Chains A and B, each alone.
Chain A
Amino acid sequence: MIRLLVVEDSKTVQRALVAAFEADPGIEVIATAETGEEAVEAARTLRPDLITMDINLPGMDGFDATRAIMSSWPVPIVIVTGKMNPRDSATLFRVMEAGALMVLSKPDPVGTPGYQASVDNLVRHLKLMAEIKVVRRTFPSGKVPPRTDRPVPLPPVHPVKVVAIGASTGGPPLLRQILAALPAHFPAAVVVVQHMAVGFTENFVHWLNRSSTLPVALGTDGAQLVPGQVYVAPDNCHMEVTPSGRLLLSDAPPEYGVRPSVSALFRSVAQSYGRHAMGVLLTGMGKDGALELKAIRGRGGITVAQDRESSMVFGMPGEAIEIDAAQHVLPPAAIIELLQRMTGKGGITPAS
């Protein structure tokens, strides 16, 4: 039984959510809160198993509440919100930096045909999120911790033309960090699959753009890959790369239960770019992309998996490591450094 705390300032929406959640026998709504302060108090006294949080709250907002909770009584927190204006993406993803696990969208209105399906989807995700063990976060500055002194091993020299990154739960803040740290003349095109609730990918792209050194855009079908450009897979489409260097969006069935999937991307990258590819598998639940990371490795590309300590959820990278798909298992700082030292001429400049 998942003990759930619902934080939402609109009474109407609160009622709707509670009704939807309580219909599931595996969820028990133990309390509701309407302000950030109430949410923090309820988290402290009731110790729920999971919290759904709205960002838009009177007084203390969702971000501060999440921070407060994650720094004292860490609990899986999921943002459940309506569609947001892309220009307000910062607010949205800020909360993820504060420690929220993922963003989900509110269910369709009661009485509409899509209602039940949207509720089921939401509940399914909640159940998954409830499983995640979260740790107490400290927020000194949010900067990337300094890299360890262990030098990063240098792989054989092949020019990397495409960097493919796959991430799920916990991915967004890390992706932002990575993209913000890349040099302006990055020699490769970057293609990204980030598992995201439908309707928020645009917000995500917007948000990434604010800090990324490279321009970030939603991938469009047939687009020509340009080095130094970042392409993010849009909602509900697999994004693949063709040997001719174009993006291909497909509505093939979901893989590992998701679409877009990292596996489709990695597979196409392995096939189309082989040893000129680099695959990075970051934090996330499940196994999406692990096998395909191995495929990239098998074709001579560089493969990296995020290490256990820094992963929000060690599912995907863990699986990759398990099947020996990753050449390197690195913390975020090291991943960034690895990427930073890539040059157009091939290979990676030696560490100084």
Chain B
Amino acid sequence: MLDSDALLKELLATFEQEAREHLGELSSLLLALERDPEAAERGHLLESVFRRVHTLKGAAHAVNLPDVAFACQRLEDMLADLKRGDLALGLEQFDSLHVSINDLGQRLCFGSPAAEPAAFPAEAPPPIPAPLARTAPRETPESVAPPARQATEPVAVPGAAPRPARLPEGRAVQQRHAVARPQGDETVRVSARLLEELLLQSEELVSAKLSASALHEELAAAAGELALRQGEQGRALEVARRGAKDATGREAALCALLERGCHTERQVVGRLRLLEKSAEKHLRSLQSMLDPLLEEMKKLQLLPCATLCDPFAKVVRDLSRELGKEAEFTCLGGELEIDRRILAELKEPLLHLVRNTVDHGIEPPSVREAAGKPARGSIRIEIRLQDANRAELLLEDDGGGIDVARVKGAALRLEGVSAELLERMPDHEALQLIFEGGLSTKRSVGSVSGRGVGLAIVRDALERLGGHVSVSSTPGAGTAFRLVFPLSFARIRGLLVQVGGRDCVIPATNVELSARVAHDEVKRLENRDTLLVNGELVALVSLGRILEVKRGAAGMERTVCYVLLHAGDKRIAFAVDQVLGVQEILVKPLGRQLSRVRNVAGATVLGNGRVVPVLNVADLFRSALTIEAPAVPPPSPAVPARRVSVLVAEDSITSRTLLKNILESAGYEVRTAVDGADALAQLKAESCDVVVSDIEMPRMDGFQLTAAIRADSRLAALPVILVTGLESRADRERGIDVGASAYLVKSGFDQANLIEVIQKLS
């Protein structure tokens, strides 16, 4: 007996994939049909459409989705009529077919149909009389004798007449490039999930490479360190040998031990060197195995851009019909192959941009004609390589362009930017504001756009990828969006830097150079720090400040270490603690729990196993521009950070030294006095923050010291802690009487206690 639940689940998964493929193909076929090919070609295309719908129907039946199967059946019937020529193929028919396909797509997404199958004809937008008249009698698909009806129905098809004149216009033509799959090669179909897993696993191998590299380095370092001691070793050995000759008994034994020790060390160094060599070999072989593998795996993930852009033809067609506009979509450069995952990330943003263009960009035909433009708008996507690592996608339209004044107005309303800044902003810069979240120049919020969210998402998506988006526009003539993005994901080269004691990685593509300059090269200009780099003035910003990382001891450095980054066409120098080097890293997303973290794009695992954030350079730039950066503080000459100073009065050397050590290691500055009088004398000369004093001291004891301190007007408020072995109530009371701030007994004494008290008092 089959496990029918498991089987059904498996079948549904297969069905979903298959259905998706069929629907995609069906859209393309319909679009091809709309281009009005030769009769033979048309027959062939119709046959293909029919066959696919039929197959889909069978598949739907197999997974027990009768509603979907029924919808397919109706579509099939209509197609059968079209095939036989009983129904003419006009615009309404195409619309109806497209609607049916969309409807099927909907049903498949939601599992259960969105509407009753019987209402299917009614779902077609603006009433399509012809198909309606046809589908009505088909309520009973089992009807045996329709031949009689067919003869009359063609007459009732009004849509057929206007067809020839209109069709040449009302179509979305798509220039197709042959999808670049080499014809001769055999292809296999693999589940995308499996491919994804394999790729992830192979990318983990990069860590293996990195650890091998780290291991090799450590071995080399260890061997190197030991090698440095060669000289010492040699001398030790000499002494040992000579000593062995003259020495007797224990000394001789010591010498012998020393000699043996040296020998062993020599051997160990030798072994380490060997290990280092084999680690190097290991690393090299790993590299030679992994690098080609990873390259090939990357290629597995490559898909031609056409897979991204082809569906847009239908989107443009459907949307323009819906909005009463006319638009033509073309795509150039679809053969370019890009990492599938990047294409997946680009899909939503591009879709939004395209929809936006049809909605905002392309004007209604009447407006266009009045402006002397052809009634049909053109939307064009062009993709090309920018360099070995990046590609550029241009989305151009010949619509009305973007009204900069409106953008500025909307930005003002948003209160994100000040009015004067807006005034001064050049137009091309102001245009980029459309990517700000919340900004919309549309007066009304429509279902397609107007909420002011979409373009911000576009920008976010591009930046997440490590690219960027910009827009340019000529009012009345058109708009162009420029998207730049890397060709493939994940493995990039990164610059490892240290900031505020923390490591982080900056993607190498954004790094122009790194350098160290003397502090006085930093000039302050217009309230910003600037540097002269290669003859150009760039702003200098503290990376630590932007990342809100607490800086260590400030201003101790005499030099400033910085990295010059670029994003888009802007350049800014970021000051860091130090630059640690370039590494090949695998960028991993932060995970669903951290969908958006300012300044951080992802994270990576270094060769030594540490997890380190990868910075989002675009965010850094934005943060840098908004912070009114104060001057990078000049090194304060020789004034160390003020520490709390303590005067210890104790006559016993041991105790005094002990106390001093304890307090100094706690970070205090300690002065000592040998008795009360000495302490008082020192205090009169130079005050301190806290006094810790023993009681039993010659010349002036602790109580007297305390009294004297309290008597002195300058020192009266000084906290005094009495530490002593005297543990009697009377003594404690005396301590309080003289005005001690705290009384600690040595036997109950531990350093934490003392320090706590000091902290409390200072």
Name A's B-contacting residues (CB within 8 A): 9-13, 15-16, 19-20, 23, 54, 56, 58, 82, 85-88, 106, 109-112, 115-116, 202, 206
Contact = CB atoms under 8 A, between A and B. Distances in A.
Contact of A23 (B2, B17, B58, B80): B2
A87 B51 CA distance: 15
Given A85-B80, A86-B144, A12 B51 contact: no
B506 interface: no
Contacts of A15: 10-11, 14
A-B pairs, top 9 by smallest CB distance, nearest first, are A109-B64, A12-B59, A10-B59, A12-B15, A16-B62, A13-B62, A10-B55, A110-B8, A82-B58
B339 interface: no
Nearest to A17: B62
Contact of A115 (B4, B18, B51, B144): B4
Contact of B64 (A10, A58, A85, A112): A112
Chain B, interface size category, equals 20 to 34
Given A15-B10, A85-B141, A111-B8, A58 B51 contact: yes
B63 A110 contact: yes
Nearest to B64: A109
Contacts of A111: 4-5, 8, 64
30 contacts: A9-B55, A10-B18, A10-B55, A11-B59, A12-B11, A12-B15, A12-B62, A13-B58, A13-B61, A15-B10, A15-B14, A16-B7, A16-B63, A19-B7, A19-B11, A20-B2, A54-B58, A56-B58, A58-B48, A58-B51, A82-B58, A82-B61, A87-B80, A88-B80, A109-B61, A109-B62, A109-B63, A110-B62, A111-B5, A206-B144
A56 B51 contact: yes
Interface in B1-51: 1-2, 4-5, 7-8, 10-11, 14-15, 17-18, 48, 51
Contacts of A86: 144
Contacts of A87: 80, 146
B54 interface: yes
Nearest to A8: B58
B18 A11 contact: yes
A284 B5 CA distance: 39
Nearest to A85: B80
B54 A56 contact: yes
B80 to A, nearest CB: 7
A110 B4 contact: yes
Interface string B125-165: 00000000000000001101010000000000000000000
Q: B interface, by DSSP: helix, strand, loop or mixed?
A: helix
B436 interface: no
A16 B80 contact: no
B57 A82 contact: yes
B6 to A, nearest CB: 10
Contacts of A88: 80
Given A10-B62, A12-B59, A85 B18 contact: no
Nearest to A206: B144
Contacts of B5: 111
A19 B18 CA distance: 18
A56 B55 contact: yes
Given A16-B7, A111-B8, 19 more contacts: A10-B58, A10-B59, A10-B62, A11-B17, A11-B18, A11-B59, A12-B63, A13-B58, A16-B62, A19-B11, A20-B2, A23-B2, A82-B57, A82-B61, A85-B77, A110-B2, A110-B64, A202-B142, A202-B144
Nearest to A86: B144
Contacts of B619: none
Contacts of B144: 86, 202, 206
B427 interface: no
A9 B144 CA distance: 28
Contacts of A13: 58-59, 61-62
B265 interface: no
A116 B168 CA distance: 53
Contacts of B10: 15
Given A10-B62, A19-B2, A110 B7 contact: yes
B108 to A, nearest CB: 12
A116 B59 CA distance: 18
Nearest to A87: B80
Contacts of B8: 110-111
By CB atoms of chain A within 10 A, which of B1, B2, B56 has the most? B2
A23 B1 contact: yes
B696 interface: no
Nearest to A58: B51
A23 B7 CA distance: 12
Contacts of B335: none
B382 interface: no
Contacts of A85: 76-77, 80, 141
A110 B4 CA distance: 6
Contacts of B7: 16, 19, 110
B77 A110 contact: no
Contacts of A56: 51, 54-55, 58
A293 B649 CA distance: 134
Interface in B679-722: none
A106 B58 contact: yes
Nearest to A82: B58
Nearest to A10: B59
Contacts of A9: 55
A16 B55 CA distance: 14
Interface in B113-129: none
A116 B51 CA distance: 28
Contacts of A54: 58
Contacts of B58: 10, 13, 54, 56, 82, 106
A115 B8 CA distance: 12
Contacts of A82: 57-58, 61
Nearest to A217: B144
B541 to A, nearest CB: 57
A208 to B, nearest CB: 13
Nearest to B1: A23
Nearest to A55: B54
B447 to A, nearest CB: 34
Contacts of B142: 202
A57 B144 CA distance: 26
Contacts of B77: 85
A211 to B, nearest CB: 15
Contacts of B15: 12
Contacts of A110: 2, 4, 7-8, 11, 62-64
Q: Which of A10, A13, A54, A86 has the most CB of B within 10 A?
A: A10
A226 to B, nearest CB: 18
A12 B55 CA distance: 10
A9 B56 CA distance: 10
Nearest to B56: A10
Nearest to B51: A56
Contacts of A19: 2, 7, 11
Nearest to B143: A86
A229 B2 CA distance: 47
Interface string B548-570: 00000000000000000000000
A106 B51 CA distance: 17
A15 B6 CA distance: 12
B633 to A, nearest CB: 68
A12 B13 CA distance: 9
A11 B14 contact: yes
A256 B372 CA distance: 82
B23 to A, nearest CB: 14
A85 B77 CA distance: 9
Nearest to A13: B62
Interface string B472-484: 0000000000000
Contacts of A106: 58, 61-62
B493 to A, nearest CB: 42
Interface string B47-87: 01001001111110111100000000000110010000000
Contacts of B61: 13, 82, 106, 109
Contacts of B76: 85
